[in-house]
Chain A
Amino acid sequence: MGTSLHELSVTVNGQLRTLRVPPHHTLLRMLRDDLDLTGTKECCTEGECGACTVLLDGTAVDSCLVLAVEADGAELTTIEALADDEPLDPLQAAFVERGAVQCGFCIPGMIMTAKSLLADNPQPSRADVVEAVAGNLCRCGGYTFIVEAVLAAAEAER
């Protein structure tokens, strides 16, 4: 079939990475399996749940719906770009303080979507936040606290 590995260069969380991937691997699979960045979660693989949300050139996308080869030359930001210890990112701190994390599976996607929202719109209304996270499912049903946490993070940054 003439299929071969494609060499690609991506900047992931500020670090230039070069790797070889088959064309059918998604960006999600590349992040988790090739780069061991397992903070980005795999769930529906059809763009419905948002668990795999990352920033691709600063824009929130479902990494399950992007082929890794499409990201050649791009800049990626994943949940691992945030703090892994104190001092936390304002979004992380707000999610902890507001009790917005239950099982935690959807949280990396939620936080990356919220990051993208606050970058574009630093003082969102509640409706803006609800619309922004409409593509992120939380099966614990923690939406109320999640929305409050995003609003609190925006307030903290004011």
Chain B
Amino acid sequence: MTFAYHRPRTIDAFWDTLAGSPGGVQLLAGGTDVVVGLNKGTTVPAAVVDLKGLDVLRSDIAAVDGRLRVAALNVMSDLIRDERMRRHFPALVEAAAEVGSVQIRNRATLAGNICNASPAADTAPPLLVYGAMVKILGPTGDRSVPLRDFFAAPRVTVLEPGDVVTAIDLPFEPQPRGSAFLRVTRRRGFDLGTVSVSCLVARGEPARFAFGAVGPTPLLAVDESGVLGPEPGEPAAEGEAIERLLEVTSPISDVRGGREYRAAMLDALSRRVLARARERLERGAVGPG
């Protein structure tokens, strides 16, 4: 099944293209999800609009106003190579390194991973614990949306027609902190995560957890009880605190795992990722360089 292909060079041309393309329009960045759908015939757009001609989406990863900014066209391999990313946002680097294979990571964009809005998007849990902001440019201007408000439903975001994500901002925090990401998958190198968990701990702050593939969208949960602090506490109380956090999740059974298996893995991964985040804080976690 064929379609019209457009590669606008300016944002105005992009909006003109959308206005002139009634029927289904599919935006294209790295293509690692979109082209699979086109090849299989599960995505049948009237037009594909390639975003790679838009300079407003293209930039190196840059520190801007206390944030590390990832442009919409930066790919997973860019994140993995970036020293500031490795130092300040290690859980995101761990998640990016889990996406597909080298060939996929060389094409797949971070922005595409979140715009695709899969509940299992590997990069979503770490982005949630880091308080990532999504920068959006639309016909009525630009705005910034916290990632936790960005996902509306499985495969649905709050983006309106004409909106395009231009960048994802990761705020640097002054205090030391420890963070990590873990997931279980059936086969490393290809498959989506069966369950994924990210955690961030810092002194004087509640621990933040985020969960992937266990609800309609990636989920953020903050330990307001303060039990899950930067130092290991009483195991029974910690177990209960984790159980309370997991109340936001609603794992289902599917081809990648059963509901019970996912629930068990959620508990195990949460404990493990918390321990790893604490270790990193202990070892001398970082603030802005």
| Bound complex: CA A136 to CA B32 (Å) | 16
B102 pairs with A6, CB closer than 8 A: no
Task: List residues of B (47-77) whose CB comes within 8 Å of A's CBs.
Answer: 47-48, 50, 52, 77
- A48: B residues at CB distance < 8 A: 190
B103 pairs with A45, CB closer than 8 A: no
Check if A123 is an interface residue, CB within 8 A of chain B.
Answer: no
- A62: B residues at CB distance < 8 A: 103-104, 107
- B1: A residues at CB distance < 8 A: 24
Check if B261 is an interface residue, CB within 8 A of chain A.
Answer: no
Task: List residues of A (101-158) whose CB comes within 8 Å of B's CBs.
Answer: 113, 116-117, 131-132, 134-136
B5 pairs with A65, CB closer than 8 A: no
- Known contacts A50-B101, A61-B107; is-contact A135 B2 (Cβ 8 Å): no
A135 pairs with B5, CB closer than 8 A: no
- A50: B residues at CB distance < 8 A: 101, 103
Looking at A47, A59, A113, A136, the one whose CB has the most chain B CB atoms below 10 A away is A47
Check if A46 is an interface residue, CB within 8 A of chain B.
Answer: yes
Choose one: A2, A24, A132; the contact of B102 (CB below 8 Å).
Answer: A132
Q: Mark B100-118, 1 if CB is under 8 A from A, else 0.
A: 1111101100000000000
Report A48 CB to chain B, min CB distance, Å.
Answer: 5
A70 pairs with B190, CB closer than 8 A: no
Report A59 CB to chain B, min CB distance, Å.
Answer: 5
Check if A26 is an interface residue, CB within 8 A of chain B.
Answer: yes
A45 pairs with B39, CB closer than 8 A: yes
Check if B156 is an interface residue, CB within 8 A of chain A.
Answer: no
Chain B residue nearest to A4 (CB atoms) is: B4
Q: Mark A1-31, 1 if CB is under 8 A from B, else 0.
A: 1110010000000000000001110100000
Report B252 CB to chain A, min CB distance, Å.
Answer: 24
A70 pairs with B52, CB closer than 8 A: yes
Task: List residues of B (126-184) whose CB comes within 8 Å of A's CBs.
Answer: none
Choose one: A22, A46, A61; the contact of B106 (CB below 8 Å).
Answer: A61
Check if A100 is an interface residue, CB within 8 A of chain B.
Answer: no
Check if A67 is an interface residue, CB within 8 A of chain B.
Answer: yes
- B4: A residues at CB distance < 8 A: 1-3, 23
Number of residues on chain B facing chain A (CB within 8 A):
30
Choose one: A66, A67, A116, A132; the contact of B5 (CB below 8 Å).
Answer: A67
Check if A79 is an interface residue, CB within 8 A of chain B.
Answer: no
Looking at A26, A113, A134, the one whose CB has the most chain B CB atoms below 10 A away is A134
| Bound complex: CA A50 to CA B103 (Å) | 8
Task: List residues of B (1-52) whose CB comes within 8 Å of A's CBs.
Answer: 1-5, 7, 28, 31-32, 35-36, 38-40, 46-48, 50, 52
| Bound complex: CA A50 to CA B102 (Å) | 10
Report A23 CB to chain B, min CB distance, Å.
Answer: 3
B52 pairs with A134, CB closer than 8 A: no
- B77: A residues at CB distance < 8 A: 59
- B32: A residues at CB distance < 8 A: 47, 65
Interface residues of B (CB under 8 A from A): 1-5, 7, 28, 31-32, 35-36, 38-40, 46-48, 50, 52, 77, 100-104, 106-107, 188-190
Interface residues of A (CB under 8 A from B): 1-3, 6, 22-24, 26, 45-48, 50, 53, 59-62, 64-67, 69-70, 113, 116-117, 131-132, 134-136
25 A-B pairs within 8 Å (CB atoms) are namely A1-B3, A1-B4, A1-B46, A2-B47, A6-B5, A23-B2, A23-B3, A23-B4, A26-B35, A46-B39, A53-B103, A59-B77, A61-B103, A61-B106, A61-B107, A64-B35, A66-B35, A67-B5, A67-B38, A69-B5, A70-B31, A113-B102, A113-B103, A134-B189, A135-B104
Extra inter-chain contacts (8) besides given A47-B101, A48-B190, A135-B102, CB under 8 Å: A2-B47, A47-B103, A59-B106, A65-B32, A65-B35, A65-B104, A67-B5, A134-B188
